[in-house]
Structure 1
Amino acid sequence: MVIGGGIGGLALAQGLRHTGIACDVYERTRERADWLQGYRIHINPAGAAALRNCLSPAGWQAFESGVADDDGGFGFLTDQCTDLLELPAAEINAGGGRHYGVSRIRLREVLLDGLGTVHHGREFTHYASDGDRVTAFFADGTTATADVLVGADGANSRVRAQLLPHAHRADTGVLAVAGKHPLPATALPPVLTTRTNLVVPRGRGSLFTAVWPPDYALWGFHDAAARFPAGLTGMPGDALQQVVLSRLAGWSPAFHRLVSGSDPATVNAIRVRSASPVRPWPTGRVTLLGDAIHNMTPMAGIGANTALRDADLLRVQLTQVPLIPAIATYERRMLDYGFAAVRQSLRNAQRAAHSSGFGRAAFRTTLRLTAAVPPIRRAMARGLGR
């Protein structure tokens, strides 16, 4: 059984379904509509390969029919909305495999399709192991028993809290404010409506932008939490917009229009947290997947891809015997690549929020030099988002 109906947990359930292993998913929300929040997700070639392994041919076709290729490429911009470095999609995809953009809502629809064993409204409280069986207990007083319990219940995982009470998430000291600007948007320049960008300003903070055509352009402003007003995470959307706009003083008017033209109902703020490293533990019939074990910042765009990789690897291992050594192999490999991704995303978050003026100037110079040397630019493009 899988606790949690997010991307990783549902991908695992789909994968097990196609290998003939019975799998039930227990999700605390009651309806699919409860998951209508969320933004665009970048699926890199590794994540796409893992997802394809977990889906049926029809499921993969349904996924491909609802995604957008990252045809606009990726750009690094100054705070005046001029290019530091442009990486065309052809160069990004030259390393093999395709990159996809997909809405979180659409991806979950694909992953839920055909799964008749997803039990909504089941809030997990704790588990108990008895020999070769594990029993899960739920807040409504019901229980469920299986051979293996997989905690895929997200960053605040209750399964992790019981299995690894010493594992915790650390506050990175970074705060992010994000929102969505509806499309079409004639007031915005093409670079903000056709491709993904990272703005590297001369001053503090950074801005990430991306596009989900034809619906919206999204943005996320990140900086050290200490540089924001107290109580930011509780502010309404229109107030958050004004806070971000005040931080964009001296930036191109295009960025002001991007933020001010967003629907306040889509604007929210979060404190960015990241999982602390975890050493291997004695393997049993309870294990973890995705954010439940290696929650990371969004600043590398690889969180969902790492969860999909977990699902595919665990799918394979659960078909092996003996079972416990097979799960141990999954855990060992997952901890290695999972926390490598955590470290990468944490470095990106800290660089975005805490780098000095000298460090930013050096990075901008490096980007300009990369743009001027095609072999270096192509090498950087091939490694982007992997």
Structure 2
Amino acid sequence: MSTRRLRVIIIGGGIGGLCLAQGLNTAGIDVAVYERDADPDARTQGYRLNIEPVGSRALHDCLPAHLWQILVATAGDSGPGMGVFTEKMRLLMREDAPPAGLDPTEQTHAVSRVTLRRLLLAGLDGIVHFGKETTGYRQNADGTATALFTDGTSATGDLLVGADGANSRVRRQLLPHARRTPAPGVGIGGKLPLGDGSAWLPEELVSTKNMFLPKRDFLFTAVFRRRETDGTTAEHVGDQLRAADLDPGLLVQDAKDDDYVMWAYVAHRRALPADLPDASAGGRGHRLRDLVASRLTHWHPDLRKLIAQTPADTIEQFDFTTARQIKPWPTTQVTVLGDAAHSMPPVGGLGGNAALYDANVLRRALIAVDRGEAELLPAVAEYERAMLKNGFAAVRAATMYLRLATLPSHTVRTVARTFFRLCGTIPPLRRAIFSD
């Protein structure tokens, strides 16, 4: 086996690409990330991200220990388990709460996207290159791959990883047959801040994640509440932040992000007006809020009030697409990761966690190659098999949730509600189906 050290090129600086870069850099592997954004703060960050245990394990494994500790300290708690309700807020089922005292790697963390991005960039100065938009790549006779950029520059490595999102240019060149298709659902989401004016909210909405399954459409809610106050966070991790060349005041301010209840309403595209307001339309948030309210006239008053009191400037519309299943392909020195391979509707919060899983699996494979314990192409082929299996299982799950949310069949809804009600009353059945 070759004893030459690896050089890895990552196209895309999202959470998957940066998580992989952290893991490889910590292991002493030569890695470079090329990101099209002009600077670290160029992205609109949107809602917080629920890091499920699979994502927690990946971040723990890939991040230096002090950055993992900072992430846990600055995260929030989305509550124990998830409840499933009718639109009248009658409980059908509640998932079992996780055991007390779980290690943070086995917990769910509600993370500020701004904070997560800063932590994933920490220590990668000179490794992450901004303002680098790829036009594609070239595979070389010596077994390397060269990334090509719009500014005329290039970068060469032993492995090129396309982590450049759902519209990946790397995937389009590597797998021209891979397709994404529009999904039938439309999502509308908003954030209601928690504060003095939200005391009326029922306990269910401010303590856990919840799914509401009416006779038509679908609503999901999640609470995002910090575990610690700003001062407590700074006290716990201030020295670690300074050691990582991070400003404690800036990072705590990023993590501050007012506590809120997030809601996401989903309906079939055909059930909504054809002239939904576009992103540039004036009063768009007000119109979207009125639209959702008009569909909830027979729902529980607290759910209608949740929508009515949500500030219009927090309300957004989401159009869904999904990746078609990809069959394994002949492995080369170019591969893909996360949404570049298996993009999915943002239903269930599965996409980001799948990207973190990919990063961790590929990290382990490349460490073995760098140590001379494995050959590059067989190791990448093994990663691709695991990535496709896990990623498209997540795609199928997200698609199933979306289909349940958008199917107009009353029979299907009745069967689904009966199923959840049975799971709620028969603990062994619930644990067999919903335990991680």
TM-score, with length taken from structure 1 = 0.93
Aligned match for 2:136, one of 119, 126, 148: 126
Report the Cα distance in structure 2 between the residues aligned to 1:122 and 1:159, rounded to whole angstroms. 14
Q: Alpha-carbon deviation of 1:196?
A: 0.5
Q: Alpha-carbon deviation of 1:139?
A: 2.0
Q: Percent identity?
A: 43
Residue matched to 1:327:
380
Contact 1:124 1:158 survives alignment (8 Å): yes
Amino acid at match of 2:347: M
Residue matched to 2:108:
99
Residue matched to 2:316:
268
Please say if 1:285 is aligned against 2:333: yes
Written as runs of structure 1 = structure 2, the 5 A alignment for 1:328-367 is: 328-367=381-420
Please say if 1:296 is aligned against 2:349: no
Q: Alpha-carbon deviation of 1:31?
A: 2.5
Which secondary structure does the structure 1 equivalent of 2:139 belong to? strand
Report the Cα distance in structure 1 between the residues aligned to 2:101 and 2:177, rounded to whole angstroms. 40
Contact 2:77 2:224 survives alignment (8 Å): no
Please say if 1:371 is aligned against 2:384: no
Contact 1:73 1:92 survives alignment (8 Å): no
Alignment gaps of 5+ in structure 2: 1-8, 227-258
Report the Cα distance in structure 2 between the residues aligned to 1:297 and 1:92, rounded to whole angstroms. 32
Residue matched to 2:298:
250
Residue matched to 2:168:
157
Residue matched to 2:231:
none
Contact 2:189 2:262 survives alignment (8 Å): yes
Report the Cα distance in structure 1 between the residues aligned to 2:382 and 2:289, rounded to whole angstroms. 47
Residue matched to 2:13:
5
Q: How far does the alpha carbon of each residue in 1:14-48 deviate from its partner, in whole angstroms, 9 at most, with x for none? A: 00001111111111112222224222222222221
Report the Cα distance in structure 2 between the residues aligned to 1:104 and 1:46, rounded to whole angstroms. 17
Residue matched to 1:312:
360
Q: Alpha-carbon deviation of 1:233?
A: 5.9
Alignment gaps of 5+ in structure 1: none
Q: Alpha-carbon deviation of 1:72?
A: 4.0
Aligned match for 2:34, one of 26, 31, 39: 26
Report the Cα distance in structure 2 between the residues aligned to 1:145 and 1:266, rounded to whole angstroms. 42
Which secondary structure does the structure 1 equivalent of 2:30 belong to? coil
Report the Cα distance in structure 1 between the residues aligned to 2:64 and 2:40, rounded to whole angstroms. 21
Relative to 1, partners in 2 of residues 1:94 and 1:354: Cα closer, same or farther, differing over 3 Å?
farther
Contact 2:85 2:91 survives alignment (8 Å): yes
Residue matched to 1:52:
60
Report the Cα distance in structure 2 between the residues aligned to 1:139 and 1:242, rounded to whole angstroms. 43
Residue matched to 1:137:
148
The aligned length equals 382
Contact 1:177 1:222 survives alignment (8 Å): yes
Report the Cα distance in structure 1 between the residues aligned to 2:108 and 2:213, rounded to whole angstroms. 23
Which secondary structure does the structure 2 equivalent of 1:24 belong to? strand
Aligned match for 1:222, one of 261, 266, 269: 266
Report the Cα distance in structure 1 between the residues aligned to 2:339 and 2:98, rounded to whole angstroms. 31
Contact 2:96 2:431 survives alignment (8 Å): no
Amino acid at match of 1:73: G
Which secondary structure does the structure 2 equivalent of 1:90 belong to? coil
Relative to 1, partners in 2 of residues 1:170 and 1:91: Cα closer, same or farther, differing over 3 Å?
farther
Report the Cα distance in structure 2 between the residues aligned to 1:87 and 1:80, rounded to whole angstroms. 19
User: In terms of Rg, which structure is larger?
Assistant: 2
Which secondary structure does the structure 1 equivalent of 2:178 belong to? coil
Which secondary structure does the structure 2 equivalent of 1:219 belong to? strand
Report the Cα distance in structure 2 between the residues aligned to 1:261 and 1:72, rounded to whole angstroms. 26
Report the Cα distance in structure 2 between the residues aligned to 1:94 and 1:87, rounded to whole angstroms. 17
Report the Cα distance in structure 2 between the residues aligned to 1:92 and 1:343, rounded to whole angstroms. 31
